[in-house]
Structure 1
Amino acid sequence: MLYLWIKALHIFFVIGWMAGVFYLPRIFVNLAMETDKNTIARLLLMGRKLYRFSMWLSVGAVVFGAILIYLAYGIHMPGWLHAKLTLVVLVIGYHHMCGPILKKFERGENTRSHRWFRVFNELPVFAMLAIVLLVVVKPF
């Protein structure tokens, strides 16, 4: 029963974290296109709050995920889980990359186009798809 509670909490935190990871780069797209100072200020405020909030959600996802791994496998993890954890580390790195990007927007130093951010915005979608497929299908 404890396992199911931990799993439910893990799923909850992952959903919240991924919402932030998906939406923050979308704010970057809008910031790269926007010229109105009031709108830029509002988007920056939204971006800062979303980055901080989703960072805390990522901590919950990682903590409950680690507990799940320990309860289910101990130290002998199957191959698909190694692949999943590699992708999770990449998503964590992606999320951390968003902080310096946000700082560049705050300082008015962004040099990338909205098209670049549109592509950047899609990367975690593919990572999340691969993670879900690995968890559900367990191909190896």
Structure 2
Amino acid sequence: MLNILYKGGVSLVTRGFHLTLEEARALVIYSQLLSENSKLKNPIEVVCVLTEVQYDPNPVVSQNHYLVLWNRIPDFKEEDLDRAAYHERTLIEVYAMRHNKFFVPTDEFILYRKATRQIRRWGGSDADREAKECFS
């Protein structure tokens, strides 16, 4: 049996390794940065580990991207994400899957652009147009 475990953003491949239900839950909580042991302090670190944070313009309680970070960063304020995305430009909004917007690290944008080229061919988002708008 081949299991793939994720710990802190790193995949660990093991053979014949079994987890109890409690250990599996703890691993999921840890890998999603929801444990008390999470040491990340800002939106950029969290987005890098999670790969992306989905932007949601239709809040019920609050906007999703703020809730995701609020649950993972002690003393998080909405201004922290806004500053990183709109002033420092260390995070960028991109269209990725199913016409949804995500925040991704700006320095990793080229990876997302290459990954979404095939999506454009299928009639999805246009990452080239997005890049021109963001960097012009």
User: Under a length normalisation based on structure 1, what TM-score does the superposition of the two structures give?
Assistant: 0.26
User: Under a length normalisation based on structure 2, what TM-score does the superposition of the two structures give?
Assistant: 0.26
Structure number with higher helix proportion? 1
Q: Which has the higher contact order (CA 8 A, sep 6+)?
A: 1
Structure number with higher strand proportion? 2
